């Protein structure tokens, strides 16, 4: 029997935020998936605009289960969903994301099972708030500097999430960055899925409040790297703003990748540093 897969989606006031059509697309395409054992859990943040009535209609038609109660953010909703999930594998989709390849979950589970992997990652289409679409190709060698892959293009073993104590809810916008960093450092086994199956919308909160994202990055670096290298304010600022990591720290972080990838790891880290420097310089010249 094929293992169960759980898709977790947080919601809040879909009608008020004009997200009902996007949500319907997500639901409709999930319903077309060829994989037989999928459960969809919707974790609603006590919506008060008619969304709960809409969710009840979907539930009564058999599309998903939903739970509505106050939460403290999307990562709190994710954790609640994982606790209720019966799937061996878990994925997280926002209400305005969708899986456009209807055979993909079947294929992803096959790859995970064949490789006995703990998580998968893949490319994804990203819809920018300004209206254009771009391909987010995974960059796992940059996983300590930036978010290396779209969360929506990843599947995780539920048992791994439980063992690593879920998402850290004190990080409101970048807890997925922290989680991916942690599972790489713990040596969990990844597998690359060579297929673009999901389209997601870039969140506006990090764009609207880059200072908060920078502060969260610094806190994540301190949390995960303080035992590897002295994390003073200057080091943290350079890491968060420019992806400039001290060489002794990079040497230690390189050991979390196969030995054959070490030179590539250093090259990718330097490329990301230069990209961030160039972007900062361009921003200052505007």
Shared domain check, 249 and 281: yes
pLDDT at 261 over 90: yes
Shared domain check, 12 and 121: yes
Shared domain check, 191 and 257: no
Shared domain check, 89 and 167: yes
Shared domain check, 128 and 35: yes
Closest by CA position to 98, among listed 207, 201, 212: 201
Shared domain check, 196 and 104: yes
* pLDDT tier, 205 (very low <50, low <70, confident <90, very high otherwise): low
138 touches 122 (CB < 8 A): yes
Where do we find the tokens 């909703």? 77
Closest by CA position to 7, among listed 31, 222, 170: 31
Angstrom distance (rounded) from CA 121 to CA 151: 8
Where do we find the tokens 């969990």? 188
pLDDT at 118 over 80: yes
For the sheet containing 198-201, what is the strand order? 98-99, 198-201, 124-127, 133-136
9 touches 44 (CB < 8 A): no
CA angle 175, 179, 184 (to 5 degrees): 150
How do 198-201 and 124-127 pair as beta strands? parallel
pLDDT in tens, 140-181: 999 999 999 999 999 999 999 999 999 999 999 999 999 999
Which pLDDT belongs to residue 91? 98
Shared domain check, 170 and 62: yes
Shared domain check, 147 and 237: no
Q: Which of 151, 175, 210 is where one domain is finished?
A: 210
> Whole domain around residue 158: which residue ranges?
5-210
Which pLDDT belongs to residue 129? 86
Percentage of residues in the chain having pLDDT higher than 70: 98
222 φ/ψ angles, rounded to the nearest 5 degrees: -60, -45
Packing angle between helix 262-285 and helix 233-242, nearest 10 degrees? 80
Query: Which pTM does this prediction carry?
Result: 0.95
Which pLDDT belongs to residue 85? 98
Domain membership flag for residue 199:
yes
* Average pLDDT over all residues of the chain: 95
Which pLDDT belongs to residue 210? 76
Count of domains for the chain: 2
Identify the CATH number of the domain in which residue 129 sits.
3.90.550.10
Shared domain check, 232 and 206: no
Exposed e or buried b per residue across 229-247, where buried means at least 16 C-beta atoms within 10 angstroms of its C-beta:
bebeeebbeebbebbbbbe
């Amino acid at each position: 029997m094929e293992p169960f897969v759980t898709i977790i989606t947080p919601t809040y006031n879909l009608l008020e935020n004009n997200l009902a059509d996007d949500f319907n697309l997500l639901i409709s395409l999930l319903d077309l998936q060829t994989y037989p054992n999928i459960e969809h859990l919707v974790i609603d943040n006590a919506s008060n605009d008619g969304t709960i009535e809409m969710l009840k209609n979907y539930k009564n038609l058999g599309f998903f289960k939903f739970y509505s109660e106050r939460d403290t953010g999307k990562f709190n909703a994710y954790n609640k969903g994982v606790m209720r999930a019966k799937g061996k594998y878990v994925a997280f989709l926002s209400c305005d994301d969708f899986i456009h390849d209807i055979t993909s979950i079947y294929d992803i589970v096959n790859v995970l099972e064949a490789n006995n992997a703990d998580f998968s990652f893949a490319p994804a289409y990203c819809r920018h708030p300004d209206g254009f679409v771009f391909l987010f190709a995974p960059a796992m060698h940059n996983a300590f500097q930036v978010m290396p892959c779209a969360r929506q293009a990843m599947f995780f073993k539920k048992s791994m999430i439980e063992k690593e104590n879920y998402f850290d809810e004190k990080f409101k916008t970048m807890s997925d960055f922290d989680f991916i960093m942690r599972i790489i450092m713990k040596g969990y086994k990844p597998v690359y899925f060579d297929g673009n199956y999901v389209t997601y919308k870039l969140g506006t909160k990090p764009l609207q409040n880059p200072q908060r994202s920078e502060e969260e990055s610094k806190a994540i670096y301190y949390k995960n790297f303080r035992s590897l290298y002295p994390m003073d304010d200057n080091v943290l600022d350079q890491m968060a703003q420019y992806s400039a990591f001290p060489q002794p720290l990079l040497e230690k972080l390189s050991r979390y990748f196969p030995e054959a990838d070490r030179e590539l790891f250093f090259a990718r880290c330097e490329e990301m540093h230069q990209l961030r420097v160039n972007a900062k310089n361009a921003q200052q010249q505007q």
